[in-house]
Structure 1
Amino acid sequence: MDTNQAGPAAEEALARQEQETITQAIAKELGISVKQVRTTVGLLDEGNTIPFIARYRKEMTGELDENVLRDIEERLSYLRNLGDRKKDVLRSIEEQGKLTQELQEQILKAVKLQEVEDLYRPFRQKRKTRASVAKEKGLEPLADWVMEQRRQGQPLEEAAKYIDAEKGVESAELALQGAMDIIAENIADDPTIRSWVRQYTASQGILVSEAKDAEQESVYENYYNYREPVHKMPPHRILAINRGERENVLKVGIEVTADKIHAFILRKLVKGPSPVKELLEAVTEDAYKRLIAPSVEREVRGEMTEKGETQAISIFSGNLRSLLLQPPVKGRNVLGVDPAYRTGCKLAVVDDTGKLLEVAVTYPTPPNNKKREAAAKFKELIAKYGIQLIVIGNGTGSRETEQFTAEVIAEIGDPGLAYLIVNEAGASVYSASKLAQEEFPDLDVAERSAASIARRVQDPLAELVKIDPKAIGVGQYQHDVSQKHLEESLKGVVESAVNHVGVDVNTASASLLSYVAGVNATIAKNIVKFREENGKFTTRKQLQKVPRLGAKSYEQCIGFLRIPGGDNTLDRTPIHPESYPVVDRLFRELGLDVASLGSKEVAEQLQAQDAAELAVKLDVGVPTLRDILESLQRPGRDPREELPLPIFRTDVLKIEDLVPGMEMQGTVRNVIDFGAFVDIGIKNDGLVHISQLSGSYVKHPMDVVSVGDNVTVWVLGVDLKKGRVSLTMRPPSGNDGGAK
């Protein structure tokens, strides 16, 4: 195993072989070609980012999308770490002088970290155990004798040979017990046995949940006397029970038929009739109950938790992406309202570019109820700044504020004036942050929050990237999962959304710029500083002068940075500067002028081109040319503009107004495993259960709806006492309805 002795050439050959093995494993697992994986791994190892590879290296990867590229990156990291762990384990066993050819092959063939750890378990340094104490007393030969299972000889007679008062072995019974402890540990450390028991427990075990205090009221009452097969438990239920256990409300365990496990171990252990058969039966029971069952239960529950966490992170990630890509409400001056009771409603007026114009505070809600003064202030600001949209955060006092706002709108009587309720999750986190203090040094926390709420509709992406993604409440059980994994996943989602939309380098904040491919926090701040000191960027090339933005970073980021109104029209498109010569050849081929870009005639001419045929003439890959043609048809296009705007409201609906069968328009606020919560304009969002999302089978709600979708729903039921509304997207007529 010591590759150093074989020299650098052999070491390099071994590394190449390991890499090829990893490449083939990923290709098989993801159902793509080895060439695609090999190329992607090469691009990643060269320091290329996922968004850059997905957008600008399509010919090389065979047009793999971002999701597949991230899967490759994740599996590559796992398998490389697995390879490193194998080397550490082999080195450790070899140093103990216990590495056999068979064991080495087993470790090298392992495809999961758990398999490697199972194989290493017998050789790992252990804390003091009953078995290690027995070995110190010299009882290992007696354990070996028992395992030989001779037809002659009595166990106690053999054990008597090991009586040694000085070593603490004062009787044959104690000697035999020590030997059995050694055998029990060997059984527990056997990788084949552990693997089988783990698989059996996962497939046949029953998770049992009980209340620690059955009289105690809690949100976990459904699980006070609960049983469900381990393999059937949905992710959200796993995390709910975990939380109940962590909060010391539930006692949780896995029940499994031990007899079948004992029988399996005995089949592995017993060679035939012998005087020690009963001893082996007893030691098998002890090994399972004392050593195997507790650790295997922990491992199985760990796997269950991982399953729950993976799903929760996936849900949060999907919802977050939908939220980040909500269409911006452009061209309107907005009045943002951060509602409250005692401290009043903070108001912030921003113009159509998001610039803060004025802040104020009013007290229309209890306990102050100064509605007349508040209405006067609202009307004053609306008239002064030509407000067309009032945006209210959905926090404390939001519905009372909504009622008041609807009354003010009715009094004004302007058909162009409406209001909107937005999810204010994370606004308080942002308002208290250093970033918010730098942005609004003269405002207090609540006033900053009102400004953030107003800007959330003008450009959701630009505003939400200022907030820690975990603080944006569009998930389920996000606080119960591995925060490291959640953070990594959400960072990838934000990065993906930002690069999908593109960033105006002359208006973007450092927060937004830091998510652009190839740009870190330092470079982002340097871009803003350079812009402040030298004025607006007029060409993409100028970014090469930004400190710390080297050639590699420039290559990765520049296609995602836009310069609207710059010297070169192409600088406002997603076309990478490396492809500008292709565009020149394209213009000459089609007889076009760059000045005519954006016209209907040019767009139609570009759309009519056969990309495959043209690519040959221009000596460029078809995917790249296809993207270029699309970008030139609508230069400066924001992909979010194709999505429907949120539903604007002018009047308030109360839960008491609802009756079953009523048809309504709503906005999806959150999608979870068992359905979707929809804002229909009442205090609490209504729930569309997964069974009511469609007339046909729905595997997961995300297959049907996304956060931000405007949907048609019908009221199924109303629970006035609990303030709950159940909805359906299955129209009473039986016709298809749903997301619009």
Structure 2
Amino acid sequence: MDILNILVDEFKLKKKHIENVIGLLDEGNTIPFIARYRKEQTGEMEDAIIRELSNRLNYLRNLETRKEEVIRLIHEQGKLTDELKLEIEKSTTLQRVEDLYRPYKQKRRTRATIAKERGLEGLSNIILEQNIHKNEFDNIVLSYINEEKGVNSKEEALQGAMDIIAEIVSDDANYRKDIKKIILSEGLIITEAVDKEETTVYDMYYDYKEPIKSIANHRILAINRGEKEKKLKVNIHINHDKVIDLIKDRVIVESNSPTFEYLNLSIEDGYKRLLYPSIEREIRSNLTERAEEEAIKVFSLNLEPLLMQPPIKGKMIMAIDPGYRTGCKVAIIDETGKYLDHEVVYPTEPQNQIEKTKIKLKKLIDKYNINIIAIGNGTASRETETLVAEILRELNRNIYYIIVSEAGASIYSASEVGIKEFPDLDVTIRGAISIGRRLQDPLAELVKIEPKHIGVGQYQHDLHQGKLNEALRGVVEDCVNRVGVDLNTASPSLLSYVAGISTRVANNLVNHREEKGRFENRKELLKVKGLGPKTFEQCAGFLRIPDGKDPLDNTGVHPESYDIASQLIGIDYKNMDIDQLSQSLEVGKPTLMDIIKELEKPGRDPRDEMPKPILRQDVLSLDDLKIDMVLKGTVRNVVDFGAFVDIGVKEDGLIHISQLSNRYIKHPKEVVVVGDIVEVKIIDIDKNRGRISLSMKGL
């Protein structure tokens, strides 16, 4: 198998660029470094493509390794033929290799292995050959009776032989391949209720069927969850008689043979007892894997714009983590994110201290000259929002509020990172600080929380956690390195996502900073314990030093290109031909253009180009909404069937996929991403269920 040519064919990229990426990965270079600083070698391949290519490369290499191992194992048994070896070598999936290996694989004790131990394999071969007269066959069967081996009768001998044939049928790689094709093209997923009288969120699946070839990924995950919670029974249905006849047509060549009856029964038993249940499990597993991969992609697509939301800089923030019985936790943080003060107020049920709360919050607003109030979107959020809106009207000052997702704030509060940052504060106050800080700098704060807890996507707790964590870590890594990190203020959590920097080195960086003082230039990185030349090469360009000794240290220019950047500073490059300049400086054009961009906007933050969050001064309720009303909102989550939008009322509205665009779209991600500010029209309001249906059509 030529892995390079397979990748070229699949990715439709130039062979030399893929070859270069493979070489760079094998040398231990990180994906952000390759994408940002080796553009000439990669043809300016984006980090997401390099990551996808890397994953596919690993799969193909693992496939090759497994092929070699399977060929060796079968050869050691003395059963490897040229045809089988060729079939294994040309396999394009791990599953096909495993199917081909299945007949030779060491098994736990089965009915077939027991029958072989009793010496009945020869009889099974005679039945399969179908080339014997009746009288002769009866005598042969009798010759296999052996009480010492546990074969006490003609019936036991025949049953053992049939058990062996049933397993042969089940293990046949070609039958498995063809039956999978039939199931995928003709099979139905059928679900029914475990208890039809019980009302659950799975009502729509109580009597449900859908072709496997068209079932949506989110329905697969919903059905899986219903089955796991023992609310649904799930089966795959196909025309079993058709499939059994297909196998019989291939196996049975002599219908008049005395072995016909036993062969017939063996095939039916092998299919119903072994082959079909095994393939059904495999198909279900493959459907789940497909659905999980898509869900992880959607999660990743949602996470990136959430992390890349523009920071609210230079503002004094009052952050409120709302609650009922335990009250609302209030934290004050300054323009740099430094914690200043906290308070607990009880404006909601059961205490309803509304006037007392107003007095306390107004005092804090005046004392710290608050610019923005950040309100967590959890329990009691909208009641708190109503109160804050009243306070702002009474103060008549230029102050705004914003609803902030508090997903993961409680996890941060009780985490090792949260405790280390604020050891003397109550866990609930840490949560309020997190809410405020994620408004000031979403990326720097959200990296302290495991990405799967950030609250975008769907069914994240049902997904393969290893694959989910790996994919989401890749997204966070790409975002952190695209923005760059202030070396003198970054937390260990943020530093650990910088290309090449491990958790240990991130902690060493912070310890070095605390012991020796601020970093004055990037070269000082080499003095940090555990940070050698290779790590320096990978991370240096992504670490920024504002107000350092060398202005280039506050840019995305890599130290390896400082000489070129210095030459550019001394010439009028804006009026020069870029191709000629590239040749004269002996630098690739993509790298040159990146350097120029950095020199023109040193310290540039790419997040500043993203849509700004909506700041509010007044609150809406469901009663204020009317059909056909047009509002602006923020996309909070994108899932397979639509997008949830915050329009300033208690519940997010849903734009169903059919209402996102006038044109046909396969997935909502084609139209919107998390963080988008969109104009929507209200098309339905269900006050009893608190549901709002929205549309973007025609707006």
The bucket for the TM-score relative to the shorter chain is: over 0.9
Residue 151 of structure 1 deviates from its aligned partner by 5.9
Structure 2 runs not aligned, ≥5 long: none
668, 685, 689: which is aligned to 1:701?
668
Cα distance in 2 for residues equivalent to 1:213 and 1:612: 72
Cα distance in 2 for residues equivalent to 1:611 and 1:480: 51
Structure 2 partner of 1:676: 643
- Note if 1:653 corresponds to 2:635: no
Structure 2 partner of 1:239: 221
Aligned residues with identical type, % of pairs: 53
Cα distance in 2 for residues equivalent to 1:81 and 1:174: 44
- Paired amino acid for 1:386: N
- Paired amino acid for 2:433: A
Cα deviation code 1:491-521 (max 9, x no counterpart): 1011011001110111110100000000011
Mean alpha-carbon deviation: is it higher for 213-222 or for 79-88? 79-88
Cα deviation code 1:115-173 (max 9, x no counterpart): 11111111111111111111112111111111112163354443222222332223223
Q: Is the 8 A contact 1:210 1:224 kept in 2?
A: yes
Structure 2 partner of 1:11: none
Task: Output aligned runs, 1:179-578, within 5 Å.
Answer: 179-275=161-257, 276-414=259-397, 416-578=398-560
Normalised to the residue count of structure 2, the TM-score between the two structures is 0.98
Structure 2 partner of 1:629: 596
- Paired amino acid for 1:541: K
Cα distance in 1 for residues equivalent to 2:382 and 2:164: 68
- Paired amino acid for 2:92: V
Cα deviation code 1:206-258 (max 9, x no counterpart): 11101010001110011000101111111100000000000011000101111
Q: Is the 8 A contact 1:668 1:677 kept in 2?
A: yes
680, 686, 700: which is aligned to 2:653?
686
Structure 1 runs not aligned, ≥5 long: 1-17, 591-604, 732-736
Structure 1 partner of 2:56: 75
Q: Secondary structure at the match of 1:677?
A: strand
Q: Secondary structure at the match of 2:134?
A: coil
- Note if 1:665 corresponds to 2:632: yes
Cα distance in 1 for residues equivalent to 2:626 and 2:261: 71
Task: Output aligned runs, 1:149-164, within 5 Å.
Answer: 149-150=130-131, 152-153=133-134, 155-164=137-146
Q: Is the 8 A contact 1:331 1:352 kept in 2?
A: yes
547, 561, 564: which is aligned to 1:582?
564
Cα deviation code 1:458-515 (max 9, x no counterpart): 0000000001111111010000010000010011011011001110111110100000
Q: Secondary structure at the match of 1:664?
A: strand
Residue 450 of structure 1 deviates from its aligned partner by 0.7
Cα distance in 2 for residues equivalent to 1:111 and 1:527: 45
Structure 1 partner of 2:677: 710
Normalised to the residue count of structure 1, the TM-score between the two structures is 0.92
Mean alpha-carbon deviation: is it higher for 449-458 or for 71-80? 71-80
- Paired amino acid for 1:338: D
Residue 313 of structure 1 deviates from its aligned partner by 0.7
Q: Is the 8 A contact 1:338 1:449 kept in 2?
A: yes
Residue 364 of structure 1 deviates from its aligned partner by 1.2
Cα deviation code 1:272-309 (max 9, x no counterpart): 44313333222211111011010000000000000110
Question: Following TM superposition, where does structure 1 have runs of at least 4 consecutive aligned residues deviating by more than 6 angstroms?
Answer: none
Residue correspondences, number: 697
Q: Secondary structure at the match of 1:515?
A: coil
Cα distance in 1 for residues equivalent to 2:154 and 2:263: 17
Q: 1:241 to 1:609 in 2, by over 3 A?
A: farther
Cα distance in 2 for residues equivalent to 1:564 and 1:255: 64
Structure 1 partner of 2:25: 44
Cα distance in 1 for residues equivalent to 2:314 and 2:216: 45
- Which structure exhibits the higher relative contact order, with contacts defined as CA atoms closer than 8 Å and separated by 6 or more residues? 2
Residue 95 of structure 1 deviates from its aligned partner by 2.2
Q: Secondary structure at the match of 2:456?
A: coil
Cα deviation code 1:691-713 (max 9, x no counterpart): 11111112211111111111110
Cα distance in 2 for residues equivalent to 1:147 and 1:391: 76
**Root-mean-square deviation over aligned CA pairs:** 1.3
Cα distance in 2 for residues equivalent to 1:586 and 1:274: 91
Residue 537 of structure 1 deviates from its aligned partner by 1.1
- Paired amino acid for 2:513: R
Q: Secondary structure at the match of 1:231?
A: coil
- Note if 1:106 corresponds to 2:87: yes
Q: Secondary structure at the match of 2:654?
A: strand
Cα deviation code 1:508-564 (max 9, x no counterpart): 101000000000111111111111112111111111111101111000000000111
Q: Secondary structure at the match of 1:88?
A: helix
- Paired amino acid for 1:623: P
Cα deviation code 1:406-434 (max 9, x no counterpart): 000000001x2010001100000000111
Q: Is the 8 A contact 1:351 1:357 kept in 2?
A: yes
Residue 609 of structure 1 deviates from its aligned partner by 4.8
Q: Is the 8 A contact 1:349 1:451 kept in 2?
A: yes
Cα distance in 1 for residues equivalent to 2:242 and 2:483: 57
Q: Is the 8 A contact 1:660 1:718 kept in 2?
A: yes
Cα distance in 2 for residues equivalent to 1:374 and 1:139: 85
Q: 1:418 to 1:588 in 2, by over 3 A?
A: closer
Q: Is the 8 A contact 1:156 1:173 kept in 2?
A: no
Structure 2 partner of 1:4: none
Q: Is the 8 A contact 1:151 1:274 kept in 2?
A: no
Q: Secondary structure at the match of 2:349?
A: coil
Mean alpha-carbon deviation: is it higher for 244-253 or for 24-33? 24-33
Cα distance in 2 for residues equivalent to 1:163 and 1:283: 20
